[in-house]
Structure 1
Amino acid sequence: MKGIIYTGGELTDLATLARLPTYLQAFLRAQNGVVAYFGGLHIRGCVAAPGWHALAQVWQGERALWRTYGELRKSDIPFGQDCVGNQFLLRGDAVLLLDTETGELADLDVDFKHFLFGAEKFPMDALGLEPLRTFQQAGGVLQPGQLLSLYPPLCLATNGRTAPASKAVPAARRLAWLASFYEQIKDLPDGQAVKLEPL
């Protein structure tokens, strides 16, 4: 992996580690999660702290992703995320992508090993790095524990009335905002007007 800005420390959440498939356990034993591609990919670790890096929090904790997003199962493992907070999950051996704005779930037709291979070979496409590249070209830097907040959300048509903006925010705040946004729009018909507060 390129552009590594953070690697997880010691494995301190052995209970979560024991519940993972052997290939993910092996990856985390080698390096307990990582933030790579200058913030473009975060693979979570089995740790108690920092909270933003803890797999257990988004998998089984109070704010577990399956509690918000109806398409997810309790058994889906949210092992990582992209620069804007879309989630990479394992369902069996398949890697899925959760769009955290809309709740849509897509099968990426790869296993974990081939997901890592694709990210290494084609990071712009595999990880959706365009927002991060634009942010970096404007002088922005993502720190470990941060995600990009995009306003307006990508799923909204603004007819050019609102200039897109991005800023670095704590990951927990970004994920909470996305969950709240999803809850507001999930039952709305297409074309419905929405009023939003930026993060």
Structure 2
Amino acid sequence: MKGILFTGRSIADAHTFGLLPAYLQDFLRTQNGVVAYFGGLHIRGCCHAPAWHDLGAAWNGEQAFWKRYATVRPTDIPFAQDCVGNQFLLRDDAVLFLDTETGELADLEVDFKHFLFGIEKFPLDALGMEPLRAFQQLGGRLEPGQLLSVYPPVCIQSATEKPQLRPLPALERLAYLADFYAQIKDLPDGQRLHFTLKA
């Protein structure tokens, strides 16, 4: 992997590690999670700190994805995320993509090994890194533990509107996305929305 900003320390959460499939255990033994592609990909590790890197918390903690998103099952493993906070999940041996704005779930039709191969070969497309590239071209940089905030949300942007991009702490960004999803999940397509910006 290229553009590595962070590599997890040794495995500290043996319980979560023991629940993982063998191929993910093998990966985490060599590096206990990683932030790569200059923030374009974050693979979580089996640790308790830092909190943003904690796979166990993302999978079974208070703010676990299956507790926030109706499409996610308790057995889905949220092993990674992209630069804006969309999630990559393992369901059995398949990698799924969770759009964290809309809650839509897509089967990427690859296993973990081929997921890694695909992002190594085509990182920009496989990881949807266009917002990160735009942010970098403006002189921005994501630090480990940060995700890119995109406003207005991608699911309601027009082709002519230029999004505002800024770094946010990862857990704050994920909480915002889950709250946004909860507010729009039952709205019909084409529904008009009114946003109130908080100070």
Normalised by the length of structure 2, the TM-score is: 0.97
Residue 188 of structure 2 aligns with an amino acid whose one-letter code is P
Q: Tell me if 1:75 matches 2:75.
A: yes
Aligned partner letter, 2:175: A
1:169 matched residue in structure 2: 168
Counterpart residue identity of residue 22, structure 2: T
| SS of 1:97 mapped into structure 2 | strand
Percent identity over the alignment is 66
Give the CA deviation at 1:159: 6.9
Distance 2:167 2:123 in 1: 20
Superposed, 1:1-199 pairs within 5 Å as 1-158=1-158, 160=160, 163-197=162-196
Aligned equivalents of 1:8 and 1:70: distance in 2? 30
Mapped partners of 2:177, 2:42: distance in 1: 17
Deviates more, 1:78-87 or 1:163-172: 163-172
Structural RMSD (CA): 1.2
Equivalent-residue separation in structure 1 for 2:32 and 2:196 (angstroms):
36
Counterpart CA distance in 2 for 1:194 and 1:181 is: 12
- The 2-side partners of 1:197 and 1:123 are apart by 35
Q: Give the superposition deviation at 1:198.
A: 5.4
- CA shift in 2, pair 1:198/1:151, >3 Å: farther
Please report how far the alpha carbon of residue 29 of structure 1 lies from its aligned counterpart in structure 2 after TM superposition. 0.7
Deviation at 1:193, TM superposition (A): 1.6
Q: How many residues align?
A: 198
Gaps of 5+ in 1: none
Task: Check conservation: 1:151, 1:198, Cα contact below 8 A.
Answer: no
**Scaled by the length of structure 1, what TM-score is found?**
0.97
Q: SS of the counterpart of 1:155?
A: helix
1:132-176 CA distance string (max 9 Å, x none): 00000000000000000000001004474x541100000000000
1:94-153 CA-to-partner distances (Å, cap 9, x unmatched) read 000000000000000000000000000000110001100000000000000000000000
Displacement of 1:195 after TM fit? 2.3
Asked if 2 retains the 8 angstrom alpha-carbon contact of 1:5 and 1:38, the reply is: yes
In structure 2, what residue type is equivalent to 1:174? R
User: 1:73, 1:55 → 2: CA distance?
Assistant: 15
Shift in CA distance, 198/55, structure 1 to aligned 2, threshold 3 Å: farther
Structure 1 residue 192: Cα displacement = 1.1
SS in 2 for 1:89: strand
